[in-house]
Chain A
Amino acid sequence: MRTTATLPLSPFEVDEALCRRVLDAALAGGAGHGDLYFQRVEQTSVVLEDGIVSRAATAVDRGVGIRAVNGDQTGFAYCEELEEAPMLAAARAASAIASGGARRAAPVGAPATGRGLYPIVRPWPDVELDSKLAVARAVEERLRASDPRVAKVRVAWMDTDELVALVDAAGRAISDHRPMAVVSATLTLVDANGRTESNSSSLAMRRGLDWFSAERLADFADDLVRRTQVLFDARRPPAGEMPVVLAAGASGILLHEAIGHGLEADHNRKGQSIYSDRVGTKVAGPDVTVVDSGLHPGERGALEFDDEGYPSERTVLIEDGVLRGYLHDTISARHYGVEPTGSGRRESFRHVPMPRMRCTYMENGPNDRDEIVASVKRGILAENFANGQVAIGAGDFTFFVKNGWLIEDGRLTAPIRDVNIIGNGPDALSRITMVANDFRLDTGGWTCGKEGQSVPVSQGLPTVLVSSLTVGGTHGA
Chain B
Amino acid sequence: MRCRDGAVETVEESRSTSVRLELLVDGRYSTHATTDLRDGPLDAFVGEAVALTRLLEVDPHRRPTPEALWRDRREIDLDLVDPRVDAISNEDRIAACRSIEEGARSGADVLGVTTWASDGRVTTARVSSDGFSGTRTCTSASLGTQVGVADEGGKRPEGYRFCSATHLADLMDAGEVGRVALARTLAKLGARKSASARATLVLAPEAGGGFLRRPLGALHASAIQQRSSFLADRMGEPVSSPLLRIVDEPHRPRSLASRLYDGDGMTTRERTIVDDGVLRSFYVDVYYGSKLGLEPTTTGSTNTVFQGGEGDLESLTREVADGFLVRGWLGGNANATTGDFSFGFHGHRITGGRIDAPVAEMNVTGNYREVLPRLVAVGADPDPWSTFRTPTLVFEGVDFSGA
Contact = CB atoms under 8 A, between A and B. Distances in A.
Interface of A: 44, 46, 49-50, 52-63, 72-81, 90, 93-94, 96-97, 129-130, 151-152, 154, 186, 188, 190, 196-198, 236, 239-241, 257, 270-274, 276-278, 350, 352, 386-400, 417-424, 426, 470-476
A420 B342 contact: yes
Interface stretch (B76-84, B238-246, B360-368): B360-368
B198 A476 contact: yes
11 contacts: A50-B291, A56-B29, A388-B331, A391-B330, A394-B188, A398-B331, A400-B333, A420-B363, A422-B362, A472-B365, A473-B401
A279 B196 CA distance: 34
Contacts of A472: 332, 342-344, 363-365, 401
Nearest to A451: B2
B338 interface: yes
Q: Across chains A and B, which 4 residue pairs bring their CB atoms closest together, nearest first?
A: A398-B331, A239-B401, A472-B363, A393-B156
A318 B83 CA distance: 53
Interface string B379-399: 000000000000000000001
Contact of B227 (A196, A276, A422): A196
B65 interface: no
A79 B9 CA distance: 21
B118 to A, nearest CB: 11
A415 to B, nearest CB: 14
B10 A74 contact: yes
Contact of A470 (B112, B156, B343, B402): B402
Contacts of B170: none
B227 A151 contact: yes
Nearest to A65: B14
A177 to B, nearest CB: 18
Contact of A240 (B14, B114, B331, B402): B402
B344 A475 contact: no
B29 A470 contact: no
Interface of B: 4, 7-18, 29-37, 41, 45, 48-49, 52-53, 55-57, 59, 62, 90, 111-112, 114, 148, 151, 154-158, 188, 191, 193, 196-198, 226-228, 291, 330-333, 335, 337-338, 340-344, 346, 360-365, 399-403
A32 to B, nearest CB: 15
Given A129-B52, A239-B363, A73 B16 contact: no
A63 B158 contact: no
Contacts of A56: 29-31, 52-53, 56
A231 to B, nearest CB: 8
B59 A470 contact: no
Contacts, number: 258
Nearest to B199: A475
A240 B195 CA distance: 8
Contacts of A197: 337-338
B100 to A, nearest CB: 17
Contacts of B346: 391, 396
B324 to A, nearest CB: 12
A272 B196 contact: no
B331 to A, nearest CB: 3
A472 B366 CA distance: 9
A76 B11 contact: yes
Contacts of A387: 331, 333
Contacts of A473: 342, 363, 365, 399, 401
B338 to A, nearest CB: 7
Contacts of A421: 363
A120 B68 CA distance: 50
Among A52, A152, A393, the most chain B Cβ lie within 10 Å of the Cβ of: A393
Contacts of A59: 32-34
Contacts of A470: 193, 361-363, 401-403
Given A276-B156, A418-B335, A350 B14 contact: yes
Contacts of A388: 331
Contacts of B90: 96
Among A76, A392, A419, the most chain B Cβ lie within 10 Å of the Cβ of: A419
B365 A186 contact: no
Contacts of B337: 188, 196-198
Nearest to B13: A93
Given A73-B7, A419-B365, 6 more contacts: A50-B291, A152-B226, A152-B227, A190-B227, A240-B401, A270-B114
A76 B12 contact: yes
B10 A76 contact: yes
Contacts of A54: 29, 59, 62
Contact of A396 (B31, B55, B330): B330
B361 A424 contact: yes
Contact of A241 (B55, B62, B343, B403): B403
Among A72, A190, A475, the most chain B Cβ lie within 10 Å of the Cβ of: A475
A186 B228 contact: yes
Contact of A420 (B45, B151, B344): B344
A369 B28 CA distance: 50
B338 A418 contact: yes
Contact of A272 (B12, B52, B158, B402): B158
Contacts of A49: 226
Contacts of A154: 226
Contacts of A58: 30, 32-33, 48-49, 52
A323 B362 CA distance: 27
Nearest to A242: B401
B340 to A, nearest CB: 4
Contacts of B10: 73-76, 352
A210 B104 CA distance: 55
Contacts of B188: 394
Contacts of A46: 56
Contacts of B52: 44, 56, 58, 129
Given A62-B36, A350-B14, A419-B365, A272 B156 contact: yes
A150 B141 CA distance: 48
B240 to A, nearest CB: 20
